[in-house]
Amino acid sequence: MNFFEIIRVAFLHLTERKRQTLLTALGVAIGSAMLITTIAVASGSSANIREKIIDTSPHVTVFPKLVEARIPENLIRDTTRHQLAVVDKNVINKDKQVIKAYTEIVSIAESINDIEEVAPFVNTKLIARNKTRFKSCLAKGIIPEREANVANLEKIVKTGSLEELSFTPNGIILGDLLAKDLRVKYRSRMDLVTEKGEIFPVIVLGTFQSGFSEFDRTIGYVNLRLAQRIEGISASTVSGIGINTNDISQSLSLAKLLENLSGYKAESWDETNKNVLDFITRNNTVTLVLVGFVFVVAGLGVSSVMTTVVLQKTKDIAIMRSFGVSRMAISLIFMVEGIFIGVVGAIFGSGLGHVICDLVKNIRFTASNAGVVRSDRVNIVESPEAHLIVVVFAIVVTVLSAMGPARRAAKLLPVRVLRGEVA
């Protein structure tokens, strides 16, 4: 029995039970479409968050933590006995961690060819007050013209301008959710209150929207010198230094280089946001696994149909075996049927998945502030690789599902069937 005859017999089996064949192929198609859509949504969500992180944070951040720890001042050496002793001190060190003489590190960073912009900053935790409304926030002291190229502030500022912040010493640009909570608007006057009770009056010069709800609800940008005054540190010290590179893929290597040159801890953007990125990866993996079980159901449907065909065609199988058709040929007939269902279902499912992705991509809704990321749409990233992987996966599942019934058909003994011993 040649290959073309095997295909003809397999096709005849499938066309005799058109409804079952179509329903089984439809099950495979729906599984393929759902998996393709899920992959596109997961990829779009990850890409959206990564893009927002990259847009609103430096590629490399230098932190006020020395790489090489200094010798503790409470370590005492006994030269006579050649021993060391550590003396416990019940004194709380209130010195703030800062980068001293930051201009030297800025000069070092600017001398590296792959670095595009360097922006020092000072972070200070405060209470933002507008009359009777209070809100805890983080004021970030910046040099506006430098920060604009590091955190893309000009892109996310919705009202007001960074230029006005540059020449307004006591100005502040608030996250739009923070401004909404405080009920302030452009040119409103409000106060920043420190943990010591010190009050610093500021003028609202605008709002920004980064897309991260927590960021927009807690952050405000002020001038670097004002933040230094609030923190009580000198003009030569900062809380950190943000750096943008010409090529973001070089962030990790540049962070290590700056760490070695400056002596301060430096991290790339993906190291700083590792927890967020790992959470996204785990969430997407779990989602894909759960949706992948749709294929298990589709595979069981294929196996059920193939088993039914084998039971209905036992006498036909016995006659073909009595005419000398090999067990391999019998097995291949049912394997071809499974492959045909898988191929038809997967190809149709790929097209259906593309249509669903297009429909979902064009849906618009009111952005919610409750989630981590604010968006008015479901972000979709479709790729040919995803379609190819799903189609191959669908075919593999259907082939594996057809193997059991195919082996059962091949093991039937024609003598027993023709005698009526096998129903």
Instruction: Band the pLDDT of 99: cuts 50, 70, 90.
Output: very high
Best mean pLDDT range from 29-33, 337-341, 350-354, 385-389: 350-354
Residue-level pLDDT at 61: 94
What mean pLDDT is reported for the chain?
A: 84
Provide mean pLDDT across the span 71-84: 60
DSSP letter for each residue of 376-389: SS------HHHHHH
Angle at 115 between CA 109 and CA 118, to 5 degrees: 60
Residue 211, both tokens? 């897309």
* pLDDT tens digit sequence for 344-385: 988 999 999 999 999 998 888 777 666 667 777 888 888 898
Residue-level pLDDT at 340: 87
Task: Give bridge partners of residue 157 from the DSSP assignment.
Answer: 208
Residue-level pLDDT at 47: 85
* pLDDT tens digit sequence for 242-251: 999 998 889 9
For residue 215, pLDDT over 60 is answered with yes
For residue 275, pLDDT over 90 is answered with no
Residue 389, both tokens? 């992987």
Tokens 């001398």 -> residue: 111
* pLDDT tens digit sequence for 338-353: 888 888 988 999 999 9
Task: Give bridge partners of residue 140 from the DSSP assignment.
Answer: 123, 221
User: What burial class does residue 393 get, using C-beta atoms within 10 Å of its C-beta: 0-12 exposed, 13-18 middle, 19+ buried?
Assistant: middle
Instruction: Band the pLDDT of 68: cuts 50, 70, 90.
Output: low
Residue-level pLDDT at 51: 84
- State the greatest distance between any 2 C-alpha atoms of the chain, in Å, as a whole number: 105
Residue-level pLDDT at 406: 78
For residue 178, pLDDT over 90 is answered with yes
| SS3 label, residue 141 | strand
Q: Are 4 and 329 in contact (CB under 8 A)?
A: no
Provide mean pLDDT across the span 213-241: 93
Distance CA 106, CA 241 (A): 8
Please state the separation of Cα 26 from the chain's center in Å: 31
For residue 13, pLDDT over 80 is answered with no
Provide mean pLDDT across the span 128-148: 93
For residue 422, pLDDT over 60 is answered with no
Distance CA 227, CA 397 (A): 61
For residue 200, pLDDT over 70 is answered with yes
Distance CA 354, CA 13 (A): 31
Indicate yes or no: pTM above 0.95: no
For residue 127, pLDDT over 80 is answered with yes
Distance CA 411, CA 95 (A): 82
Residue-level pLDDT at 416: 64
Instruction: Band the pLDDT of 334: cuts 50, 70, 90.
Output: confident
Residue-level pLDDT at 322: 74
Distance CA 53, CA 46 (A): 11
For residue 389, pLDDT over 80 is answered with yes
